[in-house]
Amino acid sequence: MTEVADRVLSIRDLRVVAPNGAVLVDGISLDLKRGEVLGLIGESGAGKSTIGLAAMGYGRGGCRIAGGQITLTGTELTQSGKSVREAMRGARIAYVAQSAAAAFDPSMRLDRQIIEAPVQHGVMTAPEARAWMLELFRALQLPNPESFGLRYPHQVSGGQLQRAMMAMAMAAKPDVLVLDEPTTALDVTTQIEVLALLRDTMRRYGTSALYITHDLAVVAQIADRLMVLRHGKEVETGATGEVLQAPKADYTRRLVAEREGSLRPARGSQKAGGEVLLALDRVSAGYSGLTILNDVSLSLRRGETLAVVGESGSGKSTLARLVAGLLSPAAGRVTFAGRALEGSYRKRGIADLKAIQMIYQLPDVALNPRQSVGETIARPLTFYRGLKGTALRDELRQLLALIGLPDDFADRLPGALSGGQKQRVCIARALAAQPDLLICDEVTSALDPLIAEDILNLLRKLQDELGMTYLFITHDLSVVRRLAERTVVMQKGRIVEDRPTADLFQTPQAAYTRTLLESVPELRQDWLDDIMARRAR
């Protein structure tokens, strides 16, 4: 434990319970000293985010702090009134979420949102807050710092918006940041930049942090200590190097082994010579006069997994939306099972709608918060397959079992689920239609390694048993190597490589592909320093 005078955050015997009485966090104690970063590691539902929010004196979704003490910069939050806790949030402790898009008001300029906290908390005047905002913009290497704040959230890239959210969190100069998967949704090249800037900025200003993540290689670059969690309880805590190199608990050893073994090659396709299910011939597409996809041609055979990789803005998700019928091509031709495919889903027949299903990256956006899990999965069962009554209930139970959730989850609302559980519900909803082609848009990016491996195994099993075909959009190259027979690399809306996955990893031909491959974090603490030094040469 750290010396009392040096602690900015102290938690003792924390206990948090859900509205249904389930214990989410059970007896957690931790100390955080000034300038220190503590990584919270564990699978989905381990209590990581619940602890991070509790450090702010907050329980989401009706959860309540049922026991323990939380002392932030000398103030005991559990015994303080609501007004005291609210005054601390943003001023003494701030939260950085995984999804920057969800953190900003799309109708307001960035600068107005960033200076709001320091002005409202009385930390600074508006001119002082603007000057500090510009200093943060420069520290975070945002483009054109003097005018960057005049933009709206939709006018900047994902990586830039993530850095802007960090500036917003640091605007009132808090003592502690709660970083909840702040780089998980970023592509590997952008993740490196954001991670290095975040680390250097916190070091410059002496900011402490709870870093919540499921990626051991990422947290190894920034955390001084690690706390491993499972089922709301502490598994082990120690210096980052000690936990990674000599884990004491079996569960921690499994996490480390999973990360170190994450580059196992994909099995060969058993149906590589099958019929072409999907083909794009010189397709171009975009939004509001802006071309995103430019002269793209590719084919996908039945029973095959084709991965599409590239950095933010490369056109990966636009390609997925086009195949799903959410965006019509401006030029070119799309065929499915040998016939022309209508550009808009509104013009497609029910057979095509059933045959092509999509799993989205952000389950919080994809799920209706007012519909139970059972209602969400039952809708496509009825719409596409006409199931009712006993047949509907039986199929619902089978789908829940397939994704590893108990029957009683059918009655739960999305707000009562962890991030990984929500994503599994999204997968079950897509599978309910019994599609021929499943478009997977970053489906494992929000999952911890062990659950992600379960999902990948499930996808492999479905492919082997049902002949499923996957168009897999991802920035996680370890997933690509383990799942895909072929990989397409995209840059600025064009395909720069389209090759068998094993060949691409062994002998990348394009310089951009080589940059992507070297950007995959390694499980050693000095990896980030090494790669930033190489790029600076």
At 512-528, the pLDDT tens digits run 999 999 888 888 899 99
Per-residue pLDDT tens digits for 395-428: 999 999 988 889 999 999 998 887 778 888 998 9
| 3-state SS, residue 270 | coil
Tokens matching residue 429: 């909803």
Per-residue pLDDT tens digits for 190-241: 788 888 988 998 998 999 999 998 888 899 999 999 999 999 999 999 999 9
Quick check: is 268 in a domain? no
Same domain, 211 and 87: yes
Quick check: is 431 in a domain? yes
Average pLDDT over residues 242-261: 89
Eight-state DSSP code of residue 61? G
Quick check: is 534 in a domain? no
Quickly state the pLDDT bin for 455 (edges 50, 70, 90).
confident
Tokens matching residue 535: 């790029």
Quickly state the pLDDT bin for 100 (edges 50, 70, 90).
confident
Per-residue pLDDT tens digits for 102-139: 789 999 999 999 999 999 999 999 999 999 999 999 98
Same domain, 12 and 82: yes
Same domain, 107 and 183: yes
Quick check: is 477 in a domain? yes
Average pLDDT over residues 248-260: 88
Other C-beta atoms closer than 10 Å to the C-beta of 151 total: 18
**Domain end position, chosen among 231, 260, 289:** 260
Same domain, 189 and 312: no
Does position 95 have pLDDT exceeding 60, yes or no? yes
Per-residue pLDDT tens digits for 11-34: 999 999 999 898 999 999 999 999
| 3-state SS, residue 80 | coil
Same domain, 211 and 290: no
Range picked from 110-124, 359-373, 463-477 for highest mean pLDDT: 110-124
Helix residue ranges per DSSP H, 287-342:
316-324
Q: How far apart are CA 171 and CA 151, in angstroms?
A: 17
Per-residue pLDDT tens digits for 31-52: 999 999 999 998 877 899 999 9
* pLDDT mean across residues, the chain: 90
| 3-state SS, residue 311 | coil
Same domain, 255 and 306: no
Q: How far apart are CA 81 and CA 71, in angstroms?
A: 14
Range picked from 150-164, 177-191, 385-399, 439-453 for highest mean pLDDT: 385-399
Which range among 65-74, 219-228, 403-412, 487-496 shows the weakest confidence by mean pLDDT? 403-412
Same domain, 187 and 285: no
**% of the chain residues with pLDDT over 70:** 96
Contact 342, 348 (CB under 8 A): yes
Other C-beta atoms closer than 10 Å to the C-beta of 500 total: 16
Tokens matching residue 99: 């999804």
Same domain, 170 and 107: yes
The amino acid occupying position 280 is L
Same domain, 460 and 320: yes
Quick check: is 44 in a domain? yes
Number of separate helices (H) and strands (E) present in the chain: 22, 20
Quick check: is 76 in a domain? yes
Does position 284 have pLDDT exceeding 70, yes or no? yes
Quick check: is 32 in a domain? yes
Same domain, 339 and 481: yes
Same domain, 110 and 47: yes
| 3-state SS, residue 24 | strand
Q: What's residue 333's pLDDT?
A: 95
Domain containing 178 — which CATH number?
3.40.50.300
Q: What's residue 4's pLDDT?
A: 62
- pTM of the full structure: 0.78
Dihedral class, residue 22 (left if φ above 0, else alpha if ψ from -120 to 50, else beta): beta
Residue 397's domain comprises 276-506
Count of domains for the chain: 2
Enumerate residues 6+ apart whose C-beta is below 8 A from 223.
Answer: 37, 38, 39, 211, 240
Residue listed under structure tokens 């489906």: 443
Q: What's residue 1's pLDDT?
A: 47
